[in-house]
Amino acid sequence: MLGTDGSTESRSGAAFPIRVLEHALVVAWKYWKLHRVDSSIDGDGEVIAILDTGISGDIPVSLINLEWENIMDTDGHGSKVATVAACKYRVCSIDLSHVAGTISDTTSTYTTFEFDTCGVAPGAKLAIFKVSDNSTDDYDPDKVLDSLEKIESHNYEFEMKIRIIVMPFHLCNIKHKQQTKIEDMIARLMLQRVVCVVAAGNSGNNRSPKFPATRENVITVGSVKANCGRLSDFSPDQDCVDVLAPGENIFFGTDKLTGSPIIDSGTSYAAPAVAGLIARLFQCARLYGGEETLDRLSDVHDLKKFLKKYLAEGKLLQPEKVSNFFSCSAKNIENLAKDLD
């Protein structure tokens, strides 16, 4: 039951404090304290492309109209990535019986817990590209290349550009010719001020990332434990990545049938969190620094320098620094513009 001290209690009498549950459900939006800053800085005006397993129809995000392929997600991985990047604000009702053990069946007690959550950039739009049917299988290099080519075409044809691409995967069984073509395409997009944010992979601390996370012209993202900022056991060593973000015990919502929380871990979820943060940053640059500042900041090498100087301690995108920057974003963008000159 729900105790007076804000805890759930099983029939055995063991209490499970609500504050512990809140701490266990990791949401990058709260980790970086973005719920405390100007709500109008939410990634509005930016488009994030996600190359993954698609997206399910019940994820509350804004999509741009890409009609050339079916993007329905039958795996769930792509939907989770989209949720981290740009899910709209919502309150999830969690069935505590799935978290705290057996709940007393007394009708007067509460058996649910309300938890508010949001993507890092809920104002951004998403462009979804399906490059795999199953996240446990190899992603198709030809579909990845085709998606990158479509992004380039879109940016030539439409005023609302796709400036950020999330690739939450690595390509293991890729032929040299395929890799060369994808490398060339990423280089072309970089020159057009498109930033690729890539998951470092889940091979462990003693392993190096795999392609495309090995390229210098992408932002490679590793994972940390949100409660202490330490490197996740599954994440490659921090020397192999550009930035570190929360990717462990990430909360995505609740199961429709059971009401239990959906939680997963991986650098796949740290990458879209960073992409959402960049979308907020690009919005600030456009609003307070103009197109010239945005153009400079969207150069991947300048962007890496900015993240390190303004938002990170070491390689960790530190909550206080992120929150403080976006709390005074107009002034900070002015200082940033001077730094870029």
Name the one residue in this structure whose structure tokens are 């890092």: 120
Percent of the chain topping pLDDT 70: 87
Q: 323-329: which pairs have CB atoms within 8 A and are 24 or more residues apart?
A: 323/32, 323/33, 323/34, 323/36, 323/37, 326/34, 326/37, 326/38, 326/41, 326/280, 326/284, 327/36, 327/37, 327/38, 329/37, 329/38, 329/41, 329/284, 329/288
CA 336/CA 300 separation, integer angstroms: 15
pLDDT tens, residue by residue, 65-105: 665 567 889 899 999 999 999 999 999 888 777 655 444 44
Pairing of strands 125-130, 47-52: parallel
The pLDDT value recorded for residue 110 is 57
Better-scored residue on pLDDT, 239 or 331? 239
Per-residue pLDDT, averaged over 50-77, amounts to: 86
pLDDT band for 9, please (50, 70, 90 cuts).
very low
Read off the pTM. Answer: 0.91
pLDDT at position 103, please?
42
What's the confidence (pLDDT) of residue 186?
A: 98
Give the model confidence (pLDDT) of 136-195 as tens digits: 877 999 999 999 999 999 999 988 899 999 999 999 889 999 999 999 999 999 999 999
CATH of domain 38-92+115-340: 3.40.50.200
> CA 63, 295, 121 angle in degrees (round to 5)?
35
The encoded tokens of residue 261 equal: 């929380």
Q: Give the pLDDT score at 1.
A: 27
Q: What is the Cα–Cα distance from 44 to 166, expressed in whole angstroms? A: 17
The mean pLDDT value for 259-275 works out to 94
What average pLDDT does this structure show over 226-251?
93
pLDDT at 19: 58
> Could you read off the pLDDT of 230-241 as tens digits, one per residue?
999 999 988 999
